[in-house]
Structure 1
Amino acid sequence: MVSLRREVGLLGLIFYGFGLIVGAGIYVLIGIASGLAGNMIWLSFLIGALLALFTGFSYAELSSLFPKESAEYVYAKKIFGKGIFPFLIGYIAIVSEIVGLSVVSLGFGRYLTSFIDIPPRISAILLISFLALINFKGITTSTFFNILLTIIGVSGLLLVVFAGIFHANWSSFNFFETPSLLNVFSASALIFFAFIGFEGVANIAEEAKNPRKIVPIALIGSILLSTFLYMLVGLSSVALVNYKTLATSNAPLSLVISKAFGNLGYLYLSFTALFSTASTALVLSVVNSRRIYGMSIYGELPKFLSKIHRKTRTPYIAVFLTALISIFFVLLEQIDIIAEIANFGILLVYASVNLNLIYLRKRYPKIKPSFKAPLNIKNQSILPFLGLATIFFLMIFLKPISLLIGLVTIILGIIFYYFLQSKKSKFAKLHSQ
């Protein structure tokens, strides 16, 4: 039987997580967060990172026990058994990230219009198609391109840091100036969404070398690396441009870079934003095809979706299906409304992972993972409980349309589950006769 290749090392895994986290979101988010937290944006990023780490440690422990593709589905299935709950978690993760791929690709298209007069939808379709080909070529090729795209993309953010270090007046800068301490926490809730993406590392575990050891390290490492970069970018931004001015800008980082390097800096930042969005889109393409493959292997989705190409060792049908559905969403006029499923969906998936770890520790107290979440009281870590509390708190900040579309997605998932079950039942009866 043809299987996936274990070719991704620790550095490649960290870049998968880092590339997915540090996408286009920071380019807009920095302005809104600065307006809330003021010069204390560095603390908001630190708190946001802690909120992400609560769930990150749950992923790390579970991935050391079950290093499989379609991680969240596998965790729920192994702990709770087969049924509608694991299916819905896997299904919501797939839908959320396919929509995410469409939205990020459209973001790429919008950045590209600064350089080439081409409709964003056309650019998005071309990007999705090109990345599907890279994904199909193999995990080594995908890893190489992701590292390359991420390095170029992050160079724009490093230029912001460089500008802050050498052009800001640090002697008169007040690190603790803020409109309100409460606002610092409000900004951290918003900033949490800038850390979404670390879970992608767990979903390519079957292609990692020694996954039980390196996947947990890569998960936590990608969050910590992103935190360090985000804090430096945030500090540099408010040190160069007053936070009140940043809050009113549609392109806050462009404003920051222009102050230090003029129009040339602005063009370079726009150029690197293309690579940041392309990197995020590539990882979403890879991760989502592995989610589909993983659920197919366990019989939750049609078996043909788990077919592996003999030469490239990639789940090629899942790769191109991901691309086709993403292109379909790109072509929809109401894509911005549909995109609301992404935030709701990923929060629901995170909640399930924290719940899985709590239940695992309770039901199997003698289990020995190679990586264990810290801060334990008796047999339970307090981190998944904090992770659950964080997620329920963050759901308050979601738009009503996010919750409505999320509910509709769950209902459609339930219908889809029972449709697949009925097909399996008919197929089994046919073969038993």
Structure 2
Amino acid sequence: MSLLRRKTIVAQPPGQQLARTLGWPHLVALGVGAIVGTGILTLIGVGADRAGPAVIVSFVVAGAICACAALCYAEMATMIPASGSAYTYSYAVLGEVIAWVVGWSLILEYSLVVSTVAVGWSGYAVGFLKGLGIVVPTALANGPGLGGVVNLPAVGIIAVIAGLLMLGTRESARINTALVVLKIVTLALFVGVALPHFDVANLHPFTPYGYGSPTGEGGVKYGVMGAAAIIFFAFYGFDAISTAAEEAKNPERDLAIGIVGSMLACTAIYMIVAATAVGAVSYTRFGDSPEPLALILRELNQGRVATIVAAAAAVALPTVLLAFLYGQSRIFLVMARDGFLPASLARVSKRGTPVRITLMTAVFVAIIAGLAPLDVIASLANAGTLCAFVAVSACVLVSRRRDPGARRPFRTPLAWVVAPLAIAGCLYLFTSLQVVTQVAFVGWNAFGLLVYFLYARSRAQVAH
């Protein structure tokens, strides 16, 4: 039974507490900044390549599953307003070994998301510089998988964001909000220029690979569900808001507004941009581009606007990096407090920020971003997220049954329908991932369990 021992959530002692500096507008901006990014600016090309014009349906499917999960997150985040996201909720409700698996999966999710976004940002930045006549050598613009040596721009942007986070949470939040506004304006510009070129002929055939997830060459899953399993990456990010619980001024109110509000706003934005993209230009012309929106504009002879979009993307995409690097550092922080990582990493600076853990996280993800290709790390990041979403949805159901009278500032509507739908949808999306991704995910967690039994279990603070 010690494997299922549960953690009691208590306030941190003075000197270890994070500074409460974030209001709900900051949290909504953090969510929108995390969600609207690589998914729509870069992975829409990957999704269209796998589903054709039906990538619009893929966005709907992935968005619906994430919406169910977001409602579950909102209940757990307001009920347990502590840092750590799904890891903390699992530790408090489901038990230690499950929490470890979830935390280990979150390491996979957040680290690979940061790496994926950094690689996506690099594609736009290199394209923008090329438009200005500055050519970045292939060896320094791509990892070994794409014929280069190291993706230096990706490593560089991670270093910049890590430095900003170490400076302070309030300062980071203000810069993030400004960049989110820039990002929304950029997408509005794209829609305004591309929508008049919408041609119904570009939507035929609508489902060239069908609605399922057939396996193609190299084990790649095609079809609407195959694309949805990748596009799913475009919607999550609201879970980064839940990692800010310890730094929210009024967590019981602000977390629910941040999580649900950002999901509603981003779903509307995605539907409009995706429909505009596949309607303006045939998906075959931008499906494999690292900067699909800018390419679409160039295909429409809007080179100047394309340069503006590429520049704005290069400036605004780091909001996703900021949100996820922030979230990853907070999850590592809580795992260090719980004894699963060295306790020295849990120290916070005089400004109330976890400098050591942020630096360690940045080095880790920079190595991945510099060397790994985009589609592989995006797909594997999705597997980690699906695991976390299943765990949080299960936490809602277990908590409702175990302690129905507990105080819940936000209650998931129709919880016994919404939570099972989130679990079933996530499990189905997992089966739609590439086999190599599924195997890698299982291997990652098998290694994680080995670490748990040989190192972490005996050091858990709950055990002492």
CA distance in 2, matches of 1:15, 1:297: 28
2:113 to 81, 100, 105: 100
What whole-Å deviation, never above 9, does each CA across 1:269-301 have from its counterpart, x for those lacking one? Answer: 211221343111111111111111122223332
Superposed displacement of residue 321, structure 1: 0.8
Partner residue of 2:336? 296
Deviation at 1:28, TM superposition (A): 3.7
Find the residue that maps to 2:18 and give its secondary structure. Answer: coil
Change in 2 beyond 3 A, CA 1:237/1:334:
closer
Kept in 2, the 8 Å contact 1:96–1:346? The answer is yes
In 1, are the aligned partners of 2:42 and 2:120 still within 8 Å (CA)?
no
**Structure 2 CA distance for aligned equivalents of residues 67 and 413 of structure 1:** 27
Which stretch of structure 1 is more off in the superposition, 395-404 or 321-330?
321-330
CA contact (8 A) 1:164 1:237 kept: yes
Instruction: Return 5+ residue gaps in structure 2 as ranges.
Output: 1-13, 142-150, 213-222
1:122 aligned to 2:152? yes
1:24-103 matched pairs, under 5 angstroms: 24-31=38-45, 33-34=47-48, 42=56, 44-81=58-95, 83-103=96-116
Matches within 5 A, 1:301-380: 301-310=341-350, 312-332=351-371, 337=376, 340-376=379-415
Match of 2:320, as an amino acid? T
Q: Counterpart amino acid of 2:115?
A: S
Using the TM superposition, give the Cα deviation of residue 33 of structure 1 relative to its aligned residue in structure 2, in angstroms: 4.6
- Assess, with a 3 A threshold, how the Cα gap between structure 1 residues 324 and 188 changes in structure 2: closer, same or farther: closer
**Residues of 2 paired with 1:217 and 1:375: CA distance?**
18
Unaligned runs of 5+ in 1: none
- 2:262 counterpart residue number: 222
1:213 aligned counterpart, secondary structure: helix
Q: Distance in 1 between matches of 2:229 and 2:431?
A: 10
Residue 219 of structure 1: CA displacement?
0.6
CA distance in structure 2 between the partners assigned to 1:125 and 1:245 by the alignment: 29
Q: Distance in 2 between matches of 1:191 and 1:199?
A: 16
Q: State the aligned residue count.
A: 419
Q: Please state whether the residue corresponding to 1:404 is helix, strand or coil.
A: helix
What's the CA shift string for 1:341-360, capped at 9, x where partnerless?
31211111111111111111
Change (3 A) 1:240 1:341: closer
TM superposition shift of 1:80: 2.4
Alignment RMSD, CA only?
Answer: 2.9
The aligned amino acid for 1:386 is L
> Which position in structure 1 is the counterpart of 2:220?
none
Distance 1:70 1:169, change over 3 A: closer
1:293/1:179 Cα in 2 relative to 1: closer, same or farther (>3 Å)?
closer
- Distance, in Å, in 2 between the alignment partners of 1:108 and 1:372 is 37
SS class of match (2:424): helix
Shift of 1:169: 6.0
Deviations 1:138-165 (A, max 9, x none): 1111111212222223332211111245
Matched position secondary structure for 2:348: coil
Percentage of identical aligned residues: 26
Q: Give the Cα–Cα distance (whole angstroms) in 1 for the partners of residues 424 and 262 of structure 2.
A: 23
Shift of 1:395: 0.9
Deviation digits for residues 311-346 of structure 1 (CA, Å, limit 9, x no counterpart)? x21011111111121223234467865664312111
Indicate the residue corresponding to 1:160 in structure 2: 190
Query: Measured at CA, do residues 334 and 275 of structure 1 come closer, stay the same or move farther in structure 2, by a change above 3 Å?
Result: closer
Q: What SS is found at the alignment partner of 2:317?
A: helix
2:242 alignment partner in structure 1: 202
SS state at 1:314 partner:
coil
Q: Is 1:408 the equivalent of 2:438?
A: no
Query: In the aligned structure 1, how far is the partner of 2:340 from the partner of 2:24?
Result: 30
| Separation (CA, whole Å) in 2 of partners of 1:244 and 1:327 | 32
What displacement does 1:389 show?
0.5
Report the Cα offset of residue 42 of structure 1: 5.0
Confirm or deny: 8 A CA contact 2:228 2:429 kept in the other structure: no
For residues 34 and 106 of structure 1, what CA distance do their matches in structure 2 show? 19
After superposing the two structures, state which structure 1 stretch, 363-372 or 231-240, moved more. 231-240
How many angstroms does 1:62 deviate by? 0.4
Alpha-carbon contact 2:397-2:419 (below 8 Å) kept: yes
1:109 aligned partner: 122
The Cα shift of 1:37 comes to 6.7
